[in-house]
Structures are given as structure tokens and as C-alpha cells.
Structure 1
Amino acid sequence: MTPSPAPVATSSWFQRFLTVIERLGNLLPNPSTLFALLAATVVVLSWIFSRMGVSAIHPATGQVVPVINLLNVEGLHRMLISVVPNFVGFPPLGTVLACLVGIAVAERTGLVTAGLRLIVLATPRRWLASIVVFGGILSHSGADVGYVLFIPLGAAMFHAVGRHPLAGLAAAFAGVSGGFSANIVLGTIDALLAGITQAAATVVRPGMLVNPAANWYFLIAASILITVVGTWVTEKIVEPRLGPYQGDAQAEEIKPLNAGEKRGLLYAVLATLAVTLVILWGTLTDGGFLLDPKNPTFLGSYFIKGLIFFIFFYGLVAGLAYGIGAGTIRNDNDVIRGMDASVSTMGSYIVMAFFASQFLAYFNWTNLGTVLAVKGAGLIKDMNLQDSPTLLMVSLVLFTATVNLVIGSASAKWTLLAPIFVPMFMLLGYTPELVQGAYRVGDSCTNIITPLNQYFPLILGFAVRYVPKTGIGTMLAMMLPYSIAFLIAWTLMLIAWIALGLPVGPGAGLFLPQ
């Protein structure tokens, strides 16, 4: 078993800086308490800024967006009646619990354990970090399932080979969230952003089309870049700083699969293949039962719309098939107990989700994020950087990365920023596809260092399983090197891409034809 690397000497200024970040961050209260305090702070700020008359003009609609005061009777009534809807409607909550209930069957029957051992046995240890980062990049093709499924798997893989599990968690988190706009497979977010970009582009050129593959070449190159940079950060900065793992969590013993486990895996593969074939039949054939008649495409299918159910169903079917083949399921009680055990471990996350859901709802109601984004974008526009388009592009990246700390949704931010930046750059001769690509760089890099990421409480919960004293400061210090490295490397790649004149996607060049 390969031991974890020895800790880096404390004389490194960057390591000392990360230590300060960790200590300061860990002085913050419990995450649940922090979100409660943030919610109260938003209410107070809404009163202050509304009294000051702060507002902004929404670039897409032209309407005035004022800061809404919640510190009044009307605001109190709204908060009182929305506690439960805020909690129940918290986007990650249903996704996490529904996925885990299905995956719990796979865990209970031993499928996850056997699959993990098979992956580790087949993977050269020197490539493990690269595989985890790249796997994280690929995983977000399925919406947000990478957060729920792949990040804990990354931790388990590292732990299984004697490396620090938090290093594996960090590498997976970096790939899933920090590499959100790096992929070799197109997803629903590509179509969503392209639609917003197209709407903004028609202001300058009516009838202009922007297709979902607008940034595909750029994203493929970025996936390679993020994998390389993420691997380097994991092995040269994060893992040495963590040192050897000294926690109590038991690692999965890496031993060859026995006959029953092999038979169980075979059954699971066959069952998974059968489900996949049915889904393909329902989505790729004319009139398929999973197609939406109004939008008969794969991205518009009910498979994509109901992806959470299919993740649950895949876990259930594969787990049952493995259990039957390996003989680890005796009756339905074994299956239900597995589901019960999985949900019971999510208690702390559910508590955090309750307070986080209230904070995010208040923040959205007050329009604080919208006003901040529009004001900041206007400031960049007023800096008169038209004579230096590359500098203006870098400014867009940095500004997006900053706004991303307070507005997590990629589509919500782009809805605000596209009507400002797309026409601006088009008037300078640049294509809307390039502007969208620059936006996506900034939109990805800071996902992993903001506690306002709606999945941050979940990732913190995964980390606490291995190191119970893990706090927000620990997570920030662990993920900050990835964020800085991704931002620098990706921005340099964007500058080089522009200098070389490479197309960012099929039929999507850099410069508008005159």
C-alpha cells in the first residue's frame, strides 16, 4: 500500500497562507449556524439598501430592479409562510436524497464495494489522481449527479490505496465543480447558455443563430487542461499538505474478487445494459416513448428531464441484480434497511440544507445578487477598454469569477451578463460564441471556494465522514489552490486561443465577418 506523501515544509509561503485561510475559516460557526446568520444579514442589508433607493436596470428586460426590503411586515409574512416551501424546494435536497436512496441498494448489496475494488485494481496508482479529476469532469454531463455520486467515490478510491481520502474528495470536487465548463460531452447546460447567448446576439444581428455546440472545441481542450492542472495541484500541493491520513474511517480492503462477486458484477452489468437499451430505444427511435412531442430530441427527452429518477432506478436495478448474483440479498428487508441506513447518515446535511435554503431564498427575494451583478458589469463597461479587447475579455473572466461567489446558477448569471457583454464584444468584432466561452471560464473556477455553492454543505458532510473536525476553513484552504490554478491556466489558454485564431466550436470562429 502506497503511503501518503509527507507534509510539505512549513516554510513555503503559500502553505503558510493556506494555513491562515484554514484557521480563519474554521473560526466561523457551524455551517448551519453560518447560513442562519447569513440569512439574518441579508434581511438587514435589504432594509439598508432599500432605504438608500439602490436599484439597477435589468439588461435583458429594461425594467428597474430595486432592492426589496424584507425587514417589514410584508417581508415577515413572506418569510413565515415560505419556510417549508423554501426547504422542500431547495434544489439539491430532492436530488441528493432521491439519488442516495437508489444508490443505497447498490451499497448495501456490495456492488459499490466490489466495483470500487475492481477500479482500483485496474488503475495504475500513478494515474489515480488524473482519473479522478477527469472522471469528475465527465460526471457533470448528467446534471448535478457528480456532486452526489462521484465526489464520495473519489474519496473512497484514494482511501482504498492508502492515500488521504480528502485529497481524493478534493480532486473529484475540482473536476466536478471547478471544471464545470470543461467536458468532451455536451449537456443540457450547453443548450441553455446557447439560447441566452443567441437572444443577446440578435440585438446586434437579428436572426443570428448560436448552436449548443458553440464552445465544444474549447471545452474539449479545457477538459485536458483541467485534468493536467488538477492532477498537479492534487499531488504537489493538496495531498502533501494533508499528510498521512490518521483518521478512524476504515478503508476498503483491496483484494481480488471472489466467484460470487464476479457473478454479481456480471448480473449488474447485464441489468444495467438492459435498462440502457430500453432508454436508447425510448429516446433515439422515431416516436420513442421517452421523447417530448414538442421537442423530439435527446436533450429535450423525458430521460433528461427525469434524470434523477433514472439514477435512482439504475442504482436500484444494478444493486438488486448484484445482490441476486452474489447472494447478498435474502429478502426485501435487506433492500429497505440499506435505504434506511443511507438516509440516516444525511442528518447533518438535512439540517444545513434547511438553513441554507432560507438564506438563498431571502437572497433571491431581495434582488441583491442581481443588483450587484448589473452594477459591476456596468463598471467594467465604463472602463473604456475597447482598445484592448484581450484585456476586456480577461476582465469578463475575472468579473464572472467574482460574481460566481454570490450567484451560483450559470444560467441566471448569463441571463444578466449576456445582454451587456455579448453586444459589446460583437461591436468590437468578436463572435458571441467566443464571449460565451470566456464567460464559462470564470463561471467554473470559483465554484469550489464559495460556501454559497448549494452543494457545499453536502461536500462538507462527505469530508466529515473521514475527518470529523473538518470545517469551512479546511475546505476553503483545500480547494483554493485548484481555483487559483484553474483561473490562471484557463485564462492563459483563452488568450492563446484568441492569439492563434482557433474556432471555439463547429462553425464558431472568433471574429465576425464584416
Structure 2
Amino acid sequence: MGRKQKKSVMDRFLNTVEVMGNKLPDPIVIFIALMGIILVGSFVASMFNLKATNPATGEEVEAVNLLTGEGLVQILTESINNFSSFPPLGMVLVVMIGIGIAEKTGYFETAMKRVIEVSPKKLIIPAIILVGIIGNVAGDAAPVVLPPIAAMVMIKLGHHPFAGLIIAYVAAVGAFSANFLIGMTDALALSFTEPAAQLVDSNYTGNIAMNYYFIAVSAVVLLVVTYVLATKVTIPRLGSYDSSHLEEQKEELEEREVKALRWANISALITAAIFLFLLIPENGLLRNQETGSIMNDSPFMNSVVFIITILFFVPGLVYGLKAKTIQNTKDFGNVLSESMATMGSYIVLVFFAAQMLAYFNWSNLGPIIAIKGADLMQSLNFTGIPLIIGSIILASFINLLIGSASAKWAILAPVFVPMFMLIGYDPAFTQMLFRIGDSITNPITPMLPYLPLLLAFAKKYDKNAGLGTLIANMLPYSIVFFIAWTLLVILWLFLGLPLGPGGAVEY
């Protein structure tokens, strides 16, 4: 009987993470537990007369016991209102109508294939990375569709197919919060940032584009970083691959798909041109009619979510009609229904998250914890660079245990957003720090449902491939992404640049 191969420290660490993560309950159960903890916490805090002074208003904030007759009545009578009035819920669902039809008709998948198909040989690897980064606006499409396409392309270039799997997967999930387009990721983040900020400032309103400048620059930086790692580390490390035993697979698009894509892209350009016509002129209909501003209280900013929905909806619909994936009104209805069906878990999650946020608000525990935490940070001088690095590392480690970005941010936002506001940082900045940390460990977390799928793709080329093979090749990306992205956000802080329209660094 042969000796068992000794596992490396990294293997043991990742195995421990996987075991711990698998033992965690469903995020919905976590929220229910947090609701109970907040209720008990409100009783204990009230019993000890816990209070704090809001430095922004000078108002004394006292803990409120929710485990009273009055508190119970409030919990029962306001539960539906907590859910239905959760401001970003409608925004997220509306965006999903546009993104959903573009994904379900096949528009996103065909667009990805076409970009790679027409790219010059020298630009194929950057094209794969770019499609992966941009593709995260398409929900599940990028990490599901792109890796197997990239693997086949790599074989034709004379490289190992694992290189294609890894590069595409890392670009799609590791650069999850970097993009040139605004999409579902931005909407989901805002859906928890805004109500969390309102625990301190009830008049606070964010917008879906408040991180846009930063995520656009991040997309450029991470594209370069990924390309360098791919060509200098991943491809040389994996070496060549004997593909003679593989069957030739169809990857070229059909003529009908190419024509449908062309018409869809034309429709997208026409739609964008119409909106620009309404926005660019000084008296444009989408500008603020009193000040002429595009950003401040303008119809454009107030309707940007619906505009984004239309920009995805129109080409998705045109593609579906031309490619015959939508042939009648029943198909149209089914596509919309299927796209919204994927939001079922989010809607249930929001119900419990809304209750949790409401309890936090009613009990005053959120503001008190934020004020006390802010005082502690200031006394320890834990601001600036240490705060940035610490926040990103914390989010990245939590990401190893909980895969859902919205679940993590729903838990962290009510504490960290108010806390950071009280020490002078805008909610847009706090949100961006979380999004960085949440992205960089995506390639290596066993909690992301796409990783087992990636392993299935890998086993097609090597039956002995395991999670350790994939994670070992993707770990350098997580490390370098952390370094590059952290340096970028530190530079942003020193320069005092806006993160996006209405998104500042300082509060």
C-alpha cells in the first residue's frame, strides 16, 4: 500500500475553508438569526441604558427595547411595509428585466463568442479578459459561457486549455466590481448601502453610478494585470497540451446568429443615440431644466436605472426576434418570466434583510455601534491607509465563507457604512472598499457556485484535475489583484477624486 501524499499548507488551509463554509447555514437563516440577536441585543442594551452622542447632529441616541408590547406591535404591523418600501428592491428587479432578456435570448453569449471570433490573434487573450470583465453585467453568462469558449481558443493558439479556463474565470469573477458598464452589481450594492447610510442621515440618497469612475479605471488596470499574469505566469506554467484525442467542436457562429447580433448592436446604438440626443444639448429634456445640470437632480440621473434597462432590453429583444429565440408572444413572456425567476432568492433575502435593517433602525443599535466604533477608530488613529487595507482584507476573508455578495453586504453595510460616515467617509467609498474585497478572492473561494462548474470543464481535458489544480493557478491573480486594486484606491484617496457621479471619497 503506497504512502499518502502529504498535503501542502495551502491545501490544508483551503480544505479548512471549504469545510467551514459548508457548515454555514443558508444566508436567509443567517438573517433570521441576526434578527433574533438584534431583538435580544435591544433588550440588553436598553437594560444597561446604552447611549451615544451623534457627532454629526449632537443628538443623544439611546437604545430602544423592542421586546415590549409596543415593540411587538411595531414588528407585526410594519413587516410588510419594511419589505415593500425597501427603496432599491424595485430598482434591482427593473434592471433585471433588461439584463434578463439580453441573457435569455442568447444576445450576451453570442456577443462574447463574436468578439473572440473576430479578434486578431495577438489580441485574442486581451479580448477574452475584456469580455470576462465586461461580462459580469450579464449575470451568470460570463463565468458559465466564457471559460469553455476560451479553453477551445487556447488549444487553437497552441496553449493549454486550462489557461483559457483560468483567464476567463478570473476576469469574470475576480474583476467582478470592475467594468465599463453599469449593471446589476452596482444596483445590488446600492440596494444595501443606501438604507444603511440612512441610519445616520435619513436624507441620504445614493445612485447606481456613484462608483462608476473608479470601476471603469479599475477595469483598465485589472485588464493589464490579468494579461501580464496570464502571459508571464499561467501560460508558461501550464505549458503545451496534446489535443489530438479531442473531437473537433463547433465554435463558429451560425450566419443567422451573426446577423441577429448585427441588428441587435445597431438597435443598441440607435437607442443610445436617442438618449444622447435628449441629454447632450443645453436644453436637453433629460437635463435639469432649471440649472442645466446632467448630474444634479436631473431626469437623466433620476431615471438612469430605467435607461440602463432599456439599453439592455432593446438589443436583447431584437436579437431574440432575429435569431428566432423569440418567435411569438408566448416566447416573449417566457423569456421575461425566466429572467425574473432567477431573482426569487434575492427577493426572499431582501424580505429578511429589510426586517433586520428595520430592527437595527428602531432599536438604535446600528447608530450606537457605529458611533462607538467610529470613536474607537479615531482614538486608535485607524483611518486612511490602515482602514482601507483592513476593510479590504476583512471583506476578502468573509468572501471565502459566504459566496453571495448581496448577503455579505446586507450584513456588513448597516455597521460599516454609518461607522465610516461618522469618521468622514462617504457611503460610496465604503461600498467600493467592500466591492474590492468581495471580488479579489472570488476566483479561489469554494463558496462560489461557478467553481465546481469550472472543475467540470477542466476534467474534460484532464480527468485527474482537482480544485487544488485550479485554485493553485488562480491564487496569484487574487494576490496581485489585492495589491493593484488597493494601491489604486489609496491613490484615489490621496487625489480626492470622485468615485462616480454623486460618489465622493469624503462625506
Instruction: Please give the range of the TM-score, normalised by the shorter of the 2 chains.
Output: 0.5 to 0.7
The 3-state SS of whatever aligns with 2:262 is: helix
2:286 pairs with 280, 287, 290, which one? 290
CA contact (8 A) 2:126 2:223 kept: no
Closer, same or farther: CA 232–346 of 1 in aligned 2, 3 Å: farther
Q: Distance in 2 between matches of 1:461 and 1:93?
A: 24
Instruction: Out of 152-161 and 483-492, give the one that drifted further.
Output: 483-492
The one-letter amino acid of 2:65's match is: N
Residue 27 of structure 1 and its aligned partner are, at CA, apart by: 0.4
> Which of 279, 285, 288 is the aligned partner of 2:275?
279
Change (3 A) 1:375 1:399: farther
The Cα offsets for residues 55-80 of structure 1, whole Å up to 9 and x where unpaired, read as 22222212122333222222222221
**Aligned position for 1:135:** 134
Asked if 2 retains the 8 angstrom alpha-carbon contact of 1:445 and 1:483, the reply is no
**Matched ranges for 1:85-164 at <5 A:** 85-90=81-86, 93-122=89-118, 126-127=125-126, 130-131=129-130, 134-135=133-134, 146=137, 149-150=138-139, 152-162=141-151
The one-letter amino acid paired with 1:99 is V
> Is it true that 1:304 corresponds to 2:293 in the alignment?
no
* Contact 2:278/2:284, CA 8 A, preserved across alignment: yes
Three-state SS of the structure 2 residue aligned to 1:361 is helix
User: Counterpart in 2 of 1:363?
Assistant: 360
The residue identity in structure 2 corresponding to 1:446 is G
Distance of 2:6 and 2:280 partners within structure 1: 57
| Cα displacement (A) at 1:335 | 0.9
| Distance in 1 of aligned mates of 2:303 and 2:392 | 30
2: distance between equivalents of 1:215 and 1:257?
33
Query: Is 1:255 aligned with 2:258?
Result: no
How do residues 422-433 of structure 1 correspond to structure 2 at under 5 angstroms? none
Distance 2:179 2:256 in 1: 38
Count of residues in correspondence between the two structures: 418
TM-score of the superposed pair, with normalisation by structure 1: 0.64
Q: 1:316 and 1:224, CA in 2 relative to 1: closer, same or farther beyond 3 A? A: closer
Q: 1:78 to 1:375 in 2, by over 3 A?
A: same
| Aligned: 1:73 with 2:72 | no
The corresponding residue for 1:393 is: 384
Q: Deviations over 1:216-247 (max 9, x none)?
A: 7x88775555555677899989xx9xxxxxxx
Q: Secondary structure at the match of 1:68?
A: coil
Q: Percent identity?
A: 29
Unpaired runs of 5+ in structure 2? 152-161, 198-208, 238-248, 396-407, 457-466, 499-507
Deviation at 1:114, TM superposition (A): 1.7
Contact 1:106 1:320 in 2 (8 A): yes
Question: 2:56 aligns to what?
Answer: 60
Match of 2:312 in 1: 315
Question: Which whole-Å deviations, capped at 9, do the CAs of 1:332-388 have from their partners, x for residues lacking one?
Answer: 2221121122223443343333333322332343333332232222123223x5xxx
Other-structure match for 1:22: 18
8 Å CA contact retained: 2:134, 2:181: no
SS at match of 2:52: strand
Q: Secondary structure at the match of 1:270?
A: helix
Q: Which residue identity lines up with residue 368 of structure 2 in the other structure?
A: V
Q: How much has 1:156 moved relative to structure 2? A: 2.5
Residue aligning to 2:436: 445
The Cα shift of 1:152 comes to 4.0
Alignment of 1:394-413 (within 5 A): 394-398=385-389, 400-401=391-392
Deviations 1:128-167 (A, max 9, x none): 674256437xx7xxxxxx4xx3564344212443469898
Q: Is the 8 A contact 1:397 1:438 kept in 2?
A: no
Distance 1:462 1:55, change over 3 A: farther
